[in-house]
Amino acid sequence: MQITIKPIGVIETNFEEKSGVPIQSVFGKEHEGVITIFPEYADGLNDLSAISHIYLIYHFNRHHDYSMMVTPYMDDTPRGLFATRAPKRPSGIGMSVVEIIRVEKNKIFFKGVDMLNNTPLLDIKPYVPEIDCFPMAKSGWYENIKNKNKNKVSDDRF
């Protein structure tokens, strides 16, 4: 089965190279980015300025291969790809929760950069704490390392 998804915009950041990018948006909160929404989708930004955080769904357009076993940035043990947030994925889909700074016309200014410059944006969804927060959720292998000193920026492994 083949699925074709058309981008709705482009994410602009200061990161041109894969190495050195924050590995999660929470680790990139001091970095700001700008999303330019294509004109035909601009009306969809109405009411967005009242929302503080959004999910960005995007395409890892500079990763073209993947492996089912990976060693995550925050660990030194090989793990199953789907138990990680590694950027090399069969579908090439990335997701980040970012904080909106402001919305101007067809642009969203945000904090929490963990993606490369000129990343194609596929969709935006609001983060809703009452729906999206699961305090009792389990995070598997991450539970064993979450309090350890871990790498918070990417290296050259992906």
**CA dist., res. 24 & res. 95, Å (int):** 9
pTM as predicted: 0.91
Domains of the chain and CATH, by start: 9-129 (2.40.30.70)
152: confidence class by pLDDT, cuts 50, 70, 90: confident
**CA nearest neighbour of 66 among 2, 4, 157:** 157
**CA dist., res. 128 & res. 66, Å (int):** 31
Tens of pLDDT, residue by residue over 91-149, are 999 999 999 999 999 999 999 999 999 999 999 999 999 999 999 999 888 887 766 65
Would you state the structure tokens that stand for residue 47, as one six-digit string? 């009411």
Tens of pLDDT, residue by residue over 20-63, are 999 899 999 999 999 999 999 999 999 999 999 999 999 999 98
3-state secondary structure of 41: helix
